[in-house]
Amino acid sequence: MRKRTIRTGLMIWTLLSFATAAIAENPHAMKTGNVSPDAAIDVVTRGTRLFYEIKRPGSNGIDLVVRDNSGERKIAGSGAPYEISGFMASPDGGKVAVALAQGDAKTVSLCVYDASTGNQLTAPITAAQVDIAAWSEDSHTLYFAFRRTPGAGDISLMAWNLQLAPATLQTYDADVIAIAMRKNETFLLSRQDAPTAKLLALRTGKPLSAAVELVPARSGRTLDSVSPASDGVYVLAREGSQERLLRIPARANGKIEPAFTQKFIAGCRNCRSFPGLRRNQTSEISIPSEDPIAMILADPLAPGVTIIFEDRTAGLVGLSYKPSTGHFVSGRTVPSM
């Protein structure tokens, strides 16, 4: 899945009117081909099953579609009063969680669908802010962030075994503006004592006091979004009118969180020599366009990140960063089966 992170103040998921764009990269190296005049907006591969959003010719809305050996079927669609604001396929490809924004995005509903049949598996969960965070590795539990009041009040990280009611893993104060997950790691953008935001990391379910700082707040630089991928964490930032893309790489064992507590770090004279302190390896990736960034897409199960630019003549244009080469490549259309 590619988690959609949209550039807006407090909300990670929000409405956006999409232009026709092909912006997806297939992590499983399947044969690539065009799909009629439709354009894929976001493509995720899970085994032999593809999930993607498309804008049909002549349509004002976006459809979420799944395709496998049984054919293509619509899972959910945009249409008054709903707009798809994001989706996340489970690791086994059997389910897909969809966030549907209503009206002017004052409320968001979270629904889970059976990818084989398209049937809705759960009653929707609706709140001012519902951000899909991750699926468990066994595809049984969905994690999401939940805030009742738009832009204010505590935000909770919820765990939802679909056979039971959602359970609160941890609640953070209103200074936490965004939550993202990768495996058992949680990443928080927080404005606590940091008006321009800082990036924190902790093990999922732990309190804020257990967090360590990955990217500190810095005067003149605002952290806008965080997007975990399999190779690391990508952070979108702004300095004045300039867009910045930061990357914190994963360690050799795949983990990103620092190996030592803040108290230990504070008393350590040679902490830069410890490979666990990944914050010292944070790098900036040169963005190959001066066009405004509409959103970034990342998949916790795949490397790299895709940046969607608002091109004045071509509409939305996607470029995907490949960490294996350190270069950006243009987006691809839906792979053929």
d(C-alpha 140, C-alpha 152), whole Å: 30
Paired residues of 319 in beta bridges: 307, 330
CATH of domain 3-330: 2.130.10.120
d(C-alpha 278, C-alpha 121), whole Å: 39
- Residue 105: CB atoms within 10 A of its CB come to 18
pLDDT in tens, 214-273: 999 999 999 999 999 999 999 999 999 899 999 999 876 555 544 344 444 444 443 433
- Residue 61: CB atoms within 10 A of its CB come to 15
Residue numbers of the chain with a pLDDT score lower than 70: 1-42, 57-60, 79-81, 103-105, 150-152, 252-280, 314-316, 331-337
* Half-sphere exposure (Cβ direction) of 171: Cα atoms closer than 13 Å: 7
* Predicted TM-score (pTM) of this structure: 0.77
Amino acid 313: pLDDT: 72
